[in-house]
Amino acid sequence: MSHHLTLLRHGESVANRAAVVQGQMDSPLSDLGRKQAEGVAREWLSEGLLFDQVITSPLLPARETAEVIATRLGLHLELEPSWMERDFGSGQGLSIEAFQDRLGPKPPLPFAPVFGNGEGAWDLYLRVARAVQAVVRRPPGCYLIVSHGALLNAALRAMLGLAPTPGRAPRFTFANGGHAHLEMDDEGAWTLHALTNPLGSAADDSGT
């Protein structure tokens, strides 16, 4: 049996609704976010999708989403800080518009921190690569990872071998409730089987 990973972005948070960059600040799910989590759980129940373990970021929107799904699917829930969202330093708490204005048109060098002491591209890549490594060192099985938009983008890049380089990194759209299904074979090669976003979900996935 191989390793199957499903990467799920949490439902809409209060910060998402307010168009605020959350980073590692806590923000609970909005009413819509709870409905999105319930919707994902219902969808997977109807499909008979099974997981051996749910691993979640301890930040509120991811944890609350994971709790809904774990309860509905009868699964054990594990909190793992390495799946927390990217630390955006002093950019956390800004509106998305103010965040983009301060970031400017030219992305920071990949080795440089962002917004003072925030995680640079290589900091994030190394952290999420270790997080993925820890999962695949577990016994083969099906693992659900509940996390955040920027972190899941970095996870997909790490799994597909896209290391940070100067300039804009490739982006994957993880709307709230969006999820990717991947499989690692016996030689350590990943296959991305699907990246699905719920109809009508907002597509913003920057630092939230």
Please tell me the total count of domains within the chain.
Answer: 1
Read off φ and ψ for residue 82, nearest 5 degrees: -65, -15
CATH number of the domain within which 75 lies: 3.40.50.1240
For residue 183, the enclosing domain spans 3-196
Bridge partners (DSSP) listed for residue 48: none
Residue-wise pLDDT tens digits, 42-61? 999 999 999 999 999 999 99
Radius of gyration of the chain from its Cα atoms, rounded to whole angstroms: 16
162 in a structural domain: yes
Residues known to be catalytic? 10, 85
Angle formed by the axes of helices 121-136 and 149-159, to 10°? 70
186 in a structural domain: yes
- Residue 191 to residue 52: CA distance in whole angstroms: 19
Query: Which residues in the chain come in under a pLDDT of 50?
Result: none
- Residue 104 is predicted with a pLDDT of 86
- Residue 205 is predicted with a pLDDT of 53
Q: Which residues of 66-90 are buried (b: 16+ CB within 10 A; e: fewer)?
A: bbbbbeeeebebeebebbbbbbbbe
Structure tokens at 195: 């990246």
149 in a structural domain: yes
191 CB neighbour count, 10 Å cutoff = 13
Residue-wise pLDDT tens digits, 136-164? 999 999 999 999 999 999 999 999 999 99
- Residue 106 is predicted with a pLDDT of 84
- Residue 1 is predicted with a pLDDT of 76
Read off φ and ψ for residue 28, nearest 5 degrees: -70, 170
